Amino acid sequence: MMEATVESTIEQSADSLVSRPATGERAPVAEGETVGSPFVDSPKMAMRNVDVFYNDKQAIFDVSMDIGSNEVVSMIGPSGCGKSTFLRALNRMNDTIEGARVEGSLRLEGQDIYDPKLDVVPLRARVGMVFQKPNPFPKSIYDNVAYGPRIHGLVDRRADLDDVVEDSLQRAGLWNEVKDRLNQPGTGLSGGQQQRLCIARTIAVSPEVILMDEPCSALDPIATAKIEELIAELSENFTIAIVTHSMQQAARVSSRTAYFHLGKLIEVNDTERVFTNPEHELTEAYITGRFG
């Protein structure tokens, strides 16, 4: 009797499996729907139905996702997929581009960052940005880091400013390399050092969120490793969103990964999941280097 039950179950199960879509294929996803887990509990930043236009051309379509406190979120996707555009929308960097328009809801701890009454200067202190090419000011190393705290009026006394500069350079892992030449120009540093200087400059104003737009693409592997190490350390105190072309980098540094494709957010999942068993076939095709 037992045998009969087992046999019939096997047949049924085999049938039901055969009738399912062929293995490896995934059920089609409704238009515009992001698979995975784009939302988190008590997010640092919450974006809902975000569209970004450059004049008539729409670059981002109905993107909704959260960035959680103290997490590292990486944004990946082919060139022109909109990941940098989306990142730049997060601290209104797109405002500087003629014809750029952002619609939808983007909130930093519940506050609408596109509120017309909101001053973007303090916003960009709260949500700092590190760019692809290291762009130190043509000033001394010290002044590069001190620039932000000075213009935002964060410190009154020279001694306090010294502390902020040292602390920021320490946190950026650059202090030991530059402490004896703080008055020399920042542009005289190596590429990797310049990028860490830019990170020190960003964290000197104690931001809550740091946006990084391909921060390592101009650096060699050793400088890259140092930045990646730094990202891990910084994530203890800051929330980080990083756009990267290097999938290995996304896999190494982030806890969640978002995959963009043609301006749409296709999938957001735990990084481990994305790189071992992504939910969406477009994600799979991109990270395995197949024809998209």
Partner 1 sequence: MDNLHLDQHISQQFNADLEELKTQLLEMGGVVEHQIIDAVKAIENADGSLAEKVLITEDEVDKREIQLDEQATMVLARRQPAASDLRMVLAVTKVTRDLERMGDEAQKIAKMAIALNEDGEAPRGYVELRHLGTSVQKMVNATLDAFARFDVATALQVAYDDRNVDREYKTAMRELVTYMMEDPRSISRVMNIMWALRSLERIGDHARNIAEHIIYLVKGLDVRHSSVKEIERQIQGS
Binding footprint of partner 1 on the chain (CB under 8 A): 6, 9-10, 13-14, 16-18, 22-25, 247-248, 251, 274-278, 283-285, 287-291
Of 224, 256, 252, nearest in space to 240 by CA: 256
Residue 104 Cβ vs partner 1, minimum distance, rounded to whole Å: 30
Measure the CA–CA gap between 240 and 252, rounded to whole angstroms.
14
CA 97 to chain centre: 20
Q: Hey, what are 151's tokens? A: 């213009």
Residue 101 Cβ vs partner 1, minimum distance, rounded to whole Å: 35
Our CA dihedral for 224, 225, 230, 232, rounded to 10 degrees, sits at: 120
96 vs 277, which CB is nearer to partner 1? 277
Residue 276 Cβ vs partner 1, minimum distance, rounded to whole Å: 6
14 vs 97, which CB is nearer to partner 1? 14
Residue 228 Cβ vs partner 1, minimum distance, rounded to whole Å: 15
168 vs 269, which CB is nearer to partner 1? 269
195 vs 249, which CB is nearer to partner 1? 249
Residue 134 Cβ vs partner 1, minimum distance, rounded to whole Å: 26
Residue 278 Cβ vs partner 1, minimum distance, rounded to whole Å: 5
Residue 14 Cβ vs partner 1, minimum distance, rounded to whole Å: 5
17 vs 30, which CB is nearer to partner 1? 17
Measure the CA–CA gap between 94 and 101, rounded to whole angstroms.
8
Return the beta strands (E) in 109-160 as ranges.
111-112, 127-130
2 vs 121, which CB is nearer to partner 1? 2
Q: Hey, what are 175's tokens? A: 């202090």
Measure the CA–CA gap between 109 and 279, rounded to whole angstroms.
29
Amino acid in position 228: E
H-helix or E-strand spanning residue 125: helix 120-126
* Rama region for 37: left / alpha / beta (φ>0; ψ in -120 to 50; rest): beta
Taking residue 124's Cβ as centre, other Cβ atoms within 10 Å add up to 20
213 vs 279, which CB is nearer to partner 1? 279
H-helix or E-strand spanning residue 163: helix 158-171
